[in-house]
Chain A
Amino acid sequence: MAFREKTAWLTLISMLVAYTLYFGLIVGGHPAGYELFAMLWLFGAISLTQLVVVIAGSLYLTARTPKEERARPDERDRAIGRRGAAAGYYVLLIGTIVAAVVMPFLESGARLANIGLFALVTAEAVHHLVILTSYRRGWHG
């Protein structure tokens, strides 16, 4: 498996674990679902942990991969990256529109922020999924 594919897997899996936990807690009635400070603390703690995991995992993968395998991205890597970014952009756009539509009906800023965060996380997950699918199944840009 290519180095870039491994780092994409690392980011995707850590994201899915971290934000499944975050949104799972919110659905389960955690105060982060309706109180701004609780939301900031929970989201901050979970995203910081995820960041540390991604950095540590990337360092581990870098150390274990020969230098020639970590070559600069070429035209295929860039094309796949652009495809992932474009797919993520459309998901984010839809999420932003949904947030804007429901905004007048929400009494809590935390709920709106969570809808926005959900859109961001989903867009980022789609971004990495498209990248992984393109590496696995091929890409004819």
Chain B
Amino acid sequence: MTHERLVTMIRQATKDVFATMLGIELEDHPEYLGVTAPGPSEGVLAIVGLAGAWAGSGSFSCSALMAQKISGQLLMQEYSAIDDDVLDAIGEVTNMVLGNVKTVLEEELGPMGLSIPTVIYGRNFTTRNVGKSQWTVVPFQCIGEVVEVHLCLEPGKELSAKISVAQQQVPAILTMLG
């Protein structure tokens, strides 16, 4: 699964969710590959886990003010602070975005599970993942601010073992052919 394919899936799913559920048209910002777990140091961050032949994590992040705006659009009421409604709304937006990415991924990678979202709100926090996974980071311009969707996906243990065996067999096959 390439970074470019993931970017295409994330862009489509995120724009679809925002246009359909929030009435917000997102604009693209340049995507990039992050070598450590990306994310803001403050604001709202929602994370879901993906599991299957490929596994990983996905997240959505935005400022506290943007979280209030998004929740207001979703629930048709104004929010002046981060409360349970706002955290729940951002969790659900994340669930919809990455759930739709998962549906497209399943066509190529087989069945996957999606965890219940975990939503974090605070200031001066750090996120990181164990290991050296690369993250596909897809930012969008959203009502004057930037929001980001992050996705890290790697072959699961079983698939990794098969790939490892296959990689070990390639030199042997090449030697036989040589």
* A and B: bona fide binding partners: no
Binding site for B on A (CB under 8 A): none
